[in-house]
Structure 1
Amino acid sequence: MRAAVVTTFGGPEAVEVVDVDVPEPGARQVRIKVAAAALNPVDAGVRQGVFGGAGKRIGLGWDVAGTVDATGVATSWSVGDEVVALDYGMVKPLGTHAAYVVVDTDAVAKAPTTVDAVHAATLPLNALTAVQALDLLELAPGASLLVTGAAGAVGGFAVQLAAHRGIPVTALAREGDEELVRSLGAAHFTAGDVEPGSVDAVLDAAVIGERALAWVRDGGAFAGVIPQAEPASERGVRTGAVEVSADGARLAELVRLVEAGVLTLRVAETYALEESAKAHARLGEGGVRGRLVLVP
């Protein structure tokens, strides 16, 4: 089968699409025939060597939508099930940017019935990151939340999920994105002029760090999206960062929110798997609203 990998680190040109063996599922695993797989900034980080793995063949891709093609023992999934899943891992021989991928059964959820596979492939990584970051904040309905990078994939899901929970959101984004973030449910908009200590919590999807921490009231909460990269606590503000985990049960809840119209799945462009390097180059240009999706 064909798969996108890197064997040396660098720019988009480091991405190779090569022939590899079709993986076999073990116990409590399933093999998914990939219909679509999103490209995320973490893939660019892997490609650049941010997470190590020099000298190895490293597969790319975390998100997948497709059809169960084979199962190991001790799984409730059946061949033919249409599913989505998160294939967690920075340095792995194969990722979801491939014709087939093997994942643990508890990372899998039924695919949403209201969207196609290309859109479904944008859900797992970014929506799980958003909901798990909101969980860290432990906000009650009515608490005020500022989301940085609110027009991005994680930020956009965070806005929608928080608004659904009855949490009024101030969206921080570029001026030209105000209409977009308000359509996602933001109650307020800012392009960067925020009073210190003015909100109960910040979800820092744009990785602003200490400047965003200053916007949280004394005793509030701050959640980042890069593990161990959150700013140190000050003024009694509780700080933390989400390390996304594969959670099929939670992913199933997010799928139901897609089907209920609560979550919007945004696709910017699609590329053939063989065009993986081209997709990486487009990601590097920035300004993408929605996800780039690879189709084998």
Structure 2
Amino acid sequence: MRALVFDSFGGPEVLRIAEVPVPATGPGQVRVRVEAATVHPVDLATRSGALAEAGLMAGGTRTGLGWDVAGVVEETGPGVGSVRPGDRVIGMNDRLDVPLGTQAEHVVLDAHAVARAPAGLAPAAAATLPLAGLTALQALDALALPEGGTLLVTGAAGAVGGYAVQLAAARGLRVVATARAADEPLVRELGAAHFVPSGPGRLGGEVRALVPGGVAGAL
């Protein structure tokens, strides 16, 4: 099968398509035939060597890229009952120093790292859910704001910010969102009650003009 890998740190020129064996499943694992995989800033930092410089990975050997994936379960290892071959799933590989990531034709993941894909969602859209969606969800859980509270979301048109706006609105929070002025229609469609364009200015003053008492939390 084909997989995107690199053997040394650097720019895009270090990337190559390698022919590698199809990975085998072990106990508690599933093999997914990849239909779509995302490219995240973490992939760029992995490839450039920034994460190695920060002591988060060793490097020096063949490394695969890709965290998020959407695809179809091909094989399950012993002890897996949550999904079956043929199931459409999304999943996440959150390991940095691995020879194969999700940017490959097949990937093996722990069964607890995959979930059934939302029905009717195209693979390219479904693949954006795991990393950004979980980041937004866990951030909202950590804030634990009560229903009716006001939340400031910066970068509200980005991947994490966009999911945060939607999830917060679904929880009954009143969202004040910041993003580029051109993104206001999108951000409001996602569920923002108020919008503040990013750029030069005093964000705190502009937010307090909308919410005199101040927001209950910021993400």
Aligned with 2:150 (options 122, 136, 144)? 144
Of 161, 167, 176 in structure 1, the residue corresponding to residue 167 of structure 2 is: 161
Aligned to 1:194: 203
- Note the residue ranges of structure 1 that are not aligned, 5 or more in a row: 204-296
For 1:138 and 1:88, the matched residues in 2 are separated by: 25
Which residue number corresponds to residue 101 of structure 1?
107
Secondary structure (helix, strand or coil) at the match of 1:70 reads strand
In the alignment, which of 49, 59, 72 is matched to residue 64 of structure 2?
A: 59
Deviation track 1:75-120 (CA, whole Å, cap 9, x = no partner) reads 0122111111111112211100000000011111111112121211
Matched residue, 1:172: 178
Name the residue aligned to 1:42: 42
1:128-154 Cα distance to aligned partner (Å, 9 max, x none):
111011111111111111111100011
Q: Which has the higher contact order (CA 8 A, sep 6+)?
A: 1
Question: Does the Cα contact within 8 Å between 1:51 and 1:91 map onto a contact in 2?
Answer: no
Does the 8 Å CA contact 2:5/2:100 hold for their aligned counterparts? Answer: yes
Cα distance in structure 2, aligned partners of 1:121 and 1:35: 9
Q: Work out whether 1:79 is the aligned partner of 2:85.
A: yes
Give the structure 1 partner of residue 4 of structure 2: 4
SS in structure 2 at match of 1:33: strand
State the distance in 1 between where 2:141 and 2:151 align.
Answer: 13
Q: Please give the alpha-carbon distance, in whole angstroms, between the structure 1 residues aligned to 2:118 and 2:187.
A: 23
Write the distance in 1 (CA, Å) between the matches of 2:137 and 2:184: 22
SS at match of 1:34: strand
RMSD between aligned alpha carbons?
1.3
Q: Secondary structure at the match of 2:51?
A: coil
Cα contact 2:59–2:97 (8 A) shared by 1: no
Provide Cα deviations, 1:145-200, integer angstroms capped at 9, x if missing partner.
Answer: 11111000110000000011011111111111111101100111112442267221
Q: Letter of the 1:153 partner, please give it.
A: A
Query: If the length of structure 2 is used for normalisation, what is the TM-score?
Result: 0.89
- SS of aligned partner of 2:37: strand
Question: Is 1:134–2:140 an aligned residue pair?
Answer: yes
3-state DSSP class of the match of 1:195? helix
Kindly provide the amino acid, as one letter, of the partner of residue 217 in structure 2.
A
What is the match of residue 15 of structure 1?
15
CA–CA separation in structure 1 for the residues paired with 2:116 and 2:59:
35
Count of residues in Structure 1 that have an aligned counterpart in Structure 2: 203
Where 2:163 maps in the other structure, the secondary structure is: helix
Describe the SS at the equivalent of 1:157: helix
- TM-score, normalised to structure 1, is 0.66
> Does the Cα contact within 8 Å between 1:34 and 1:99 map onto a contact in 2?
yes
Amino acid at match of 1:130: A
The residue type equivalent to 2:138 in the other structure is Q
CA distance in 1: counterparts of 2:13 and 2:146, whole angstroms: 46
Please give the alpha-carbon distance, in whole angstroms, between the structure 1 residues aligned to 2:33 and 2:139. Answer: 30
Question: What is the DSSP-based 3-state SS (H/G/I as helix, E as strand, rest coil) of the residue aligned with 2:38?
Answer: strand
